[in-house]
Amino acid sequence: MELKITDSNFRTEVKESSMPVLVDFYAEWCGPCKMMGPIVAELAQSYEGKCRIGKCNTDENPKLVNEFKIMSVPTFIFFKDGEAVETFMGAISKNELEAKIKQVLA
């Protein structure tokens, strides 16, 4: 299940998660973000129970955008034990995103 990450639930959903969390920082008006949407949703289902995957709307959550210095969308940040461990930007293929998930889970 895909999580909805917000300024108000970030601590409980990401920082305090016992599993690694991938957050997709996106915007509704962003073409590449729309392209990544179905891929992110599919991987959220595939990795349920192993990794949490969520989306954060950058227009609605300025605190997180500022905290993580999001300059372009989509930006993906992996969190492990509450800490950001990897960041990458732009649209990528499902295979590339899945490889990055597997790398963080290894």
Q: What is the pLDDT of residues 49-85, one digit of tens each?
A: 999 999 999 999 999 999 999 999 999 999 999 999 9
Whether the bond between 62 and the residue before it is cis, its omega within 30 degrees of 0, is no
Instruction: Report the share of the chain in percent with pLDDT over 70.
Output: 100
Active-site annotation holder among 22, 23, 27, 30: 30
69 and 40 Cβ atoms separated by less than 8 Å: no
pLDDT at residue 2 greater than cutoff 90: no
pLDDT at residue 1 greater than cutoff 90: no
Determine if the pTM surpasses 0.85: yes
Active-site annotation holder among 5, 33, 44, 65: 33
Q: Average pLDDT of 31-37?
A: 95
**Phi–psi pair at 4, nearest 5 degrees:** -105, 110
Active site residue 56: no
Strand locations in 27-82 (E): 52-57, 75-80
Domain range for 59 = 2-101
In-domain check, residue 62: yes
Domain CATH number, residue 29: 3.40.30.10
Contacts of 33 (CB under 8 A, 6+ apart): 24, 26, 27, 73, 74, 91
In-domain check, residue 106: no
Q: Whose structure tokens read 């800490």? A: 83
In-domain check, residue 55: yes
Active site residue 33: yes
